[in-house]
């Protein structure tokens, strides 16, 4: 579990800046263009890694249809939903709603994938979500007063992540992690390119403008390419439920980045919220993961 917890924390550090990068890019790009740029830069980063590691790009007998399905459900579709939602709601509210991913993962696993769950798993998830509310200082009234359109799209993105993680665990566990990451992002790149041409064709030249390159590098190459190596490692070696817990830690690492890079203050309530989140993660993952190829009953 030590390596899995380490990967979980590193992934949360990388993804701690994602909502900020999306918000910045939406100032100049349409949501579909943000998704295409994110997928393109991510796939390019993984292609370079495969090239320098002298791996084969083509996997003989690879489940291409399943890779396409996971690329659609785990990348292209939720990233489009997130981008659309952030045109309507704040990045902080988006990150809180995104933290419902573990709950969606448990529900989808129970209903569609016959995942075995225990009471402590549900308790840990709910404790962690309570910690998110404390950490972000989001009150119940904020959900009511917020744009329902944006909240709905963000919730749909969280549900897509849950479904994508379970599909990966069920169908792609025998593939190398680098190939799962690259080919699902490649599939998402093709899907999002068609979507961008259909909805915002004028955005293509804007992708190479200087003010967009740095955010795309952070969001795509690091936040999508390299980050997905850690994400699929968590899914493959741990479980879909474990990987989804990264969304609980991301708001905390976002606070860390804010303190380090923007000199933002950290209040006592934030520290308490982080402790609640970590306790929830520990409770829900305290038991060892299940056998390889099956979701763990933490």
Is residue 298 in a domain? no
**Is residue 188 in some structural domain?**
yes
Averaged pLDDT, 227-236? 92
Helix (H, G, I), strand (E, B) or coil at 54: coil
Query: Does a structural domain hold residue 150?
Result: yes
Q: Which residues touch 214 (CB under 8 Å, ≥6 apart)?
A: none
For 232, residues 6+ apart whose C-beta sits below 8 A from its C-beta are 168, 172, 177, 180, 181, 243
208 has a pLDDT exceeding 60: yes
Query: What pTM did the predictor assign?
Result: 0.81
Indicate whether 295 belongs to any domain: no
Given this model, what pLDDT does residue 285 score? 63
- The number of folded domains in the chain is 1
| Within a domain: 246 | yes
Maximum mean pLDDT: which of 92-106, 191-205, 239-253: 191-205
Asked if the structure places residue 292 within a domain, the reply is no
- Tokens encoding 43: 């796939």
| pLDDT computed for residue 139 by the predictor | 61
Mean pLDDT of 209-214: 90
Secondary structure (3-state) at 119: helix
The domain in which residue 79 lies consists of 2-285
Closest CA to 253 of 100, 93, 136: 136
> Domain for residue 79, yes or no?
yes
Residue 274 confidence (pLDDT) above 80: no
Task: Tell me: pLDDT of 112 over 50.
Answer: yes
- What would the two tokens of residue 98 be? 């995104």
**Residue 46 pLDDT > 90:** yes
CA distance 73 to 71: 6
The single residue listed with the structure tokens 């403008």 is: 209
The answer to whether residue 105 is domain-embedded is yes
């Amino acid at each position: 579990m030590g390596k899995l917890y380490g990967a979980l924390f590193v992934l949360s550090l990388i993804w701690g800046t994602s909502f900020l990068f999306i918000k910045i890019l939406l100032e100049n790009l349409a949501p579909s263009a943000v998704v295409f740029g994110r997928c393109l830069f991510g796939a390019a980063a993984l292609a370079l890694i495969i090239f320098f590691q002298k791996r084969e790009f083509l996997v003989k007998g690879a489940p291409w249809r399943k890779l396409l399905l996971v690329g659609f459900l785990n990348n292209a579709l939720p990233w489009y939903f997130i981008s659309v939602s952030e045109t309507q709601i704040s990045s902080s509210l988006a990150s809180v709603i995104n933290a419902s991913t573990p709950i969606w993962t448990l529900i989808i696993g129970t209903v569609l994938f016959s995942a075995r769950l225990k009471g402590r798993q549900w308790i840990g998830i709910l404790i962690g979500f309570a910690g998110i509310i404390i950490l972000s200082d989001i009150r119940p009234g904020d959900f009511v007063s917020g744009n329902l359109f944006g909240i709905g799209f963000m919730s749909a993105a969280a549900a897509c992540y849950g479904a994508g993680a379970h599909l990966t665990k069920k169908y792609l566990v025998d593939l190398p992690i680098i190939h799962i990451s690259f080919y699902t992002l490649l599939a998402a790149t093709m899907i999002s390119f068609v979507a961008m041409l259909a909805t915002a064709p004028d955005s293509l030249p804007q992708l190479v403008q200087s003010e967009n390159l740095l955010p795309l590098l952070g969001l795509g190459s690091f936040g999508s390419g390299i980050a997905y190596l850690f994400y699929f490692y968590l899914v493959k070696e741990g479980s879909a439920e474990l990987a989804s817990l990264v969304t609980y830690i991301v708001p905390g690492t976002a606070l860390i980045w804010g303190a380090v890079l923007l000199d933002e203050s950290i209040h006592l309530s934030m520290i308490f919220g982080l402790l609640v989140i970590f306790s929830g993660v520990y409770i829900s993952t305290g038991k060892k993961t299940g056998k390889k190829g099956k979701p763990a009953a933490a």
